[in-house]
A and B are shown apart, each in its own frame.
Chain A
Amino acid sequence: MIKNTLQTNDSAAPSMPVQPLTSEARPMQQQQRRNPPIAGELTAIANAQQGDGAAFEILYNMHKRRVYSLCLRMLGNVAEAEDLTQEAFLQLHRKIGTFRGDSAFSTWLHRMAVNVVLMHLRKKGLPLVSLEETLEPSQEDGPRKDFGTRDLRLSGSIDRVTLERAVEELPPGYRMVFVLHDVEGYEHNEIAGMLQCSIGNSKSQLHKARMRLRSLLKENAEGGTGA
């Protein structure tokens, strides 16, 4: 099954409330896998909330890699990713007083970073979900595409670096949904809320992203000679 259905573990998840802006909490284990608790984080948060600059720097160093990687994957551009990492942490500095610990701090921060990236893309006037990509299955990505292609099994044949490169080659609209759902672990209802599209759009966009990745990876596995 592709759906992220990791079992929730109630004993490890003492009454985790729904995070702000989401209609459905992600399975706890998934959140913990993505956002494991970091030693010293709670103290640093408490001190940063009191205006302690050194504590804020500790938080930056704890989370800069995750936030920057997220920005980079969504944007595909180092300069923009650095700018928005900076913006996300400045926003964190302004808002850290409002963090009440009712969700994991990293979940809260990453959501803030996603919003910063989306806001940036909206300002640039880029459609977050391309309508023609979504509504009209193109020849390229339509269902019939698969007929007649050789059965080249992907399983076991790709490493993470190859996959990362292929993700970079996805069109922005596909990449966004793929990164949010398959890499970051957001649910379709959350993504639909963030991208202001329908849940069906999010699902179909994700599917097309995976289909495109499959073609890219197969081309790659065949030595770039094409199918």
Chain B
Amino acid sequence: MTAEKSSTPVECEEFQQQLPEIFDSGVSIADHPHLKTCALCSSLVRDLEYIAAQAKLIMPIHDPSPAVWDNIQSALQQDGKQGKDRA
């Protein structure tokens, strides 16, 4: 199981170890020299960029059950009563 392209596994490993920093650096990763010669890492980068882009589209779709508001209300009423008792 080795990369049969012109890149060696060592080069790939080095590149992939730098990825977290490269992604966050703001520089265009597409210009990285390793990607010009390595199909494996190009495919990896493409997938990771795709995952990050899709994550931004995840929207809030879940609603809490009505019991949550009921509990909030009774907790607030309890607080209010205690406040009055103390006053």
Binding site for B on A (CB under 8 A): 1-5, 53, 56-57, 60, 64-66, 68-70, 72, 81-82, 85-86, 89-90, 93, 143-144, 146-148, 151, 153-155, 158, 160, 163-164, 167, 178, 182-183, 185, 188, 200, 203-204, 206-207, 210-211, 213-214, 217
A148 & B20 in contact (Cβ 8 Å cutoff) = no
Q: How far is the CA of A154 from the CA of B75 in the complex (A)?
A: 47
B77 to chain A, nearest CB (A): 9
Does B43 contact A164, Cβ atoms closer than 8 Å?
no
Number of A-B contacts defined by CB within 8 Å = 137
B13–chain A nearest beta-carbon distance, Å? 5
Complex-state Cα separation, A200 to B17, whole angstroms: 12
* Across-interface contacts of B64 in A (CB, < 8 A): 64, 68, 81-82, 85
Could you tell me how many residues of chain B have their Cβ less than 8 Å away from some Cβ of chain A? 50
Known: A143-B12, A154-B46, A158-B54. 9 other contacts (CB 8 A): A68-B63, A68-B68, A70-B60, A93-B72, A151-B43, A163-B51, A178-B55, A188-B24, A217-B51
Distance in angstroms from A108 CB to nearest chain B CB is 17
Cβ-closest 3 pairs across A and B: A69-B60, A148-B1, A182-B55
